């Protein structure tokens, strides 16, 4: 089937109490791996690329590969641009065929965040493209986005409610204590804050920093209203470690088809585990 907007996919997930896995991919093999996992699990899927990956590969190449994968798959697939600060790049991705975009203006004051988000919502609405935004600041590192622990700030539930009213954004990523990258210790997720935000807003909520969060914490966050979970770092680690393992065992290996096969399988296994954690297995045909 063709690539779909994630809007209805995520609304259904929130209404029915499960979460859709959103996986950051950086190569064709990583993309193929998570698509294979979704087909095997009969799960809805969101493919994601960071701004760095878009600049590295080009949005047209990414969208073309995702489109072919989606047409051959039996499950609904959306293509999402993650953490973008630039309206021009967002529009280029939409033109290329992305069905979901994130305008991240969370580093700006509330009023400026509202204004930037509202402009993107207006541009995307006529194309049927989902728009995600962030309130507060999620800590950690993703591409060139670096937020120190001291600068990370949790989202205010009242501001979240006001933000949705003022922007009309489709999905919201509130900062609730998670971080990009691998956690140094146990994540300190503010579940009471998630519950309060979910009580005040009806749009699907997004859990950023999904790599390394313990299963019981993920499931609790989903029960409280999180409908999308982003996973990036764990996929990169699995992909890279699998390739290193091939060369450790055979330093003379020079066929990419050999080591990429191992890397794909490693990514697929991580994706399947995350889909199980999210509760989205078997939900591909849920409406």
User: Binding site, residues?
Assistant: 83, 104, 134, 180-181, 208-211, 230-233
Residue 183 CB partners (closer than 8 Å, separation 6+): 212, 213
Active site (annotated) includes residue 151: no
- Residues 220 and 228: their CA atoms lie apart, in Å, by 13
- Residues 235 and 249: their CA atoms lie apart, in Å, by 22
Binding residues for dihydroxyacetone phosphate: 181, 209-211, 230-233
Contact 133, 163 (CB under 8 A): yes
- Calculate helix-pair angle for 28-41, 59-72, nearest 10 degrees: 30
Binding residues for Zn(2+): 83, 104, 134, 180, 208
Q: What is the CB neighbour count within 10 angstroms for residue 182?
A: 12
Q: What is the β-pairing status of strands 20-24 and 226-231?
A: parallel
- Residues 175 and 139: their CA atoms lie apart, in Å, by 8
Q: How many helices (H) and strands (E) does the chain have?
A: 11, 11
Contact 180, 142 (CB under 8 A): yes
Catalytic residue of the set 82, 151, 156, 255: 82
Query: Which sequence positions are flagged as catalytic?
Result: 82
């Amino acid at each position: 089937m063709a690539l779909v907007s994630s809007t209805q996919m995520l609304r259904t997930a929130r209404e029915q109490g499960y979460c859709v896995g959103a996986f950051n991919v950086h190569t064709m093999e990583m993309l193929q791996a998570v698509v294979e996992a979704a087909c095997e699990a009969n799960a809805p899927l969101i493919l994601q690329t960071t701004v760095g990956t878009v600049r590295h590969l080009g949005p047209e190449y990414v969208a073309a590969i995702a489109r072919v994968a989606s047409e051959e798959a039996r499950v609904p697939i959306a293509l999402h641009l993650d953490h973008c600060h630039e309206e021009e790049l967002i529009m280029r991705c939409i033109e290329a065929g992305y069905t979901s975009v994130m305008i991240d203006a969370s580093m700006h004051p509330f009023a400026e965040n509202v204004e930037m988000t509202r402009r993107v919502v207006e541009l995307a609405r006529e194309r049927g493209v989902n728009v995600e935004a962030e309130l507060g600041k999620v800590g950690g590192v993703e591409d060139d986005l670096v937020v120190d622990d001291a600068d990370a700030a949790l989202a205010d539930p009242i501001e979240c409610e006001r933000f949705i009213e003022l922007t009309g954004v489709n999905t919201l990523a509130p900062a609730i204590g998670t971080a990009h990258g691998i956690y140094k210790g146990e994540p300190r997720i503010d579940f009471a804050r998630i519950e309060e935000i979910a009580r005040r807003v009806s749009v699907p909520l997004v859990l950023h920093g999904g790599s390394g969060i313990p299963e019981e914490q993920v499931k609790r966050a989903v029960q409280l209203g999180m409908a999308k979970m982003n996973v990036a770092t764990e996929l990169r680690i699995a992909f890279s470690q699998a390739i290193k393992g091939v060369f450790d065992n055979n330093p003379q290996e020079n066929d990419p088809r050999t080591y990429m096969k191992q890397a794909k399988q490693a990514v697929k296994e991580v994706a399947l585990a995350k889909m199980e954690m999210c509760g989205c297995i078997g939900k591909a045909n849920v409406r």
